[in-house]
Amino acid sequence: MVMDEQLYELASMILNYVGREGGRKNEKLFYNKLFYSSAIISYIKLLDEDVGFRHERDIMEAMHFLFTNFCTAKGEKYKSRSALTVSSIIYKELGLKGDIFPKEKVTEKNRKETLKIPLENEVVRGYLEREENISVTPARISQRMKEYRNDMRALLREKDLLS
């Protein structure tokens, strides 16, 4: 399955990023794990079934555990990293926009709405603001997302997994 192979390669790239990137590694790795986690959550939720990835442990290990917890509904948190599985993502409800979006994006209308798939960049901004006490602009998140996509595409092309 090509998608399984691509997900495994992406996980490997995230897990091995430190060795490739040198000095800028920490901030870039942090953002890459956030975007990777967001993409994996969205992909698994769209599948809505446990497809049995060959390398599920590595795919899950590359995810940002605290961010993944942040995206789930209150009371539905993963107790430990080992509890993070494809099945657990499928069956755990996503959180409410009012608890997850950046505070300026929370309205009366969306306060009680569950997150939609695919996850929006506002979820990453909300995580950074609420959990990491880091304030970033939407433009900065978009720029980081573009860098992430370009890096991952280039690395997948190197492995002949993307045309």
- Return the percentage of the chain with pLDDT > 70, whole number: 86
Residue 11 lies in a domain: yes
* Full domain range(s) for residue 95: 2-158
Residue 163 lies in a domain: no
Distance between alpha carbon 48 and the CA centroid of its chain, in Å?
17
Task: Please give the single-letter amino acid code of residue 160.
Answer: D
pLDDT digits (tens, 9 = 90+) for 85-138: 988 999 899 999 999 999 999 999 889 999 999 999 999 999 999 999 999 999
CA angle 105, 148, 116 (to 5 degrees): 35
Residue 1: per-residue pLDDT: 42
Provide mean pLDDT across the span 55-64.
86
* Prediction pTM value: 0.85
Q: How many domains does the chain have?
A: 1
Residue 134 lies in a domain: yes
pLDDT digits (tens, 9 = 90+) for 7-35: 767 777 777 665 555 545 578 888 988 99
Cα–Cα dist 102/29, whole Å: 22
Query: What mean pLDDT, rounded, does the chain reach?
Result: 84
